[in-house]
Amino acid sequence: MGPDKRNRSIAAAGGNGRLDARPSRDELLRVLADGNRRRVLSYLSDAPADDVTFDELCERLSDSAGRGAGITTQGGRDRLALRLHHEHLPKLADAGLVEYDPRRGRVSYSEHPAVESLLHDLATLVDDARETNS
């Protein structure tokens, strides 16, 4: 990881988790292309607390993804935790959608109306596709 990207990740994770500019719609679509990142945002937006622990997030995602994502074993949960820590949460933090503090093990959602609208639209599309394929 280059110094500029590392500094962005540290800045996003350490303080307010937001970059100066909001992500474009195309960037949001790239970030939301992954189902795990959509589940992270959905869970965080509905969470009763302002932030959640990394372990709680891993547990909830393991439960919600379940058998369909191969997360029924401890090994599957460990792989999910590694991907969350090294891939998904940094991408969400770089886009200004979450605050992730790996030292404290805390994750919080940065409200974003366009994201919530996209999440709703994507969920509707996925549901419609499932009904069509059934």
Identify the three-state secondary structure at position 2.
coil
Given a cut of 60, whether residue 7 has pLDDT beyond it is no
Query: What is the gyration radius of the CA atoms in the chain, in angstroms?
Result: 15
How far, in Å, are 47, 95, 117, 119 from residue 29 at the CA level? Answer: 23, 11, 12, 10
Q: Which pLDDT band holds residue 72 (cuts at 50, 70, 90)?
A: low
CATH number for 21-133: choose from 1.10.10.10, 3.40.50.2000, 3.30.300.30, 2.40.40.20: 1.10.10.10
- Cα four-point dihedral sign 6, 37, 49, 76: negative
Query: In the chain, what are the domain boundaries?
Result: 21-133
What are 10-39's pLDDT values in tens digits? 344 444 444 446 778 788 889 989 989 999
* pTM, to two decimals: 0.73
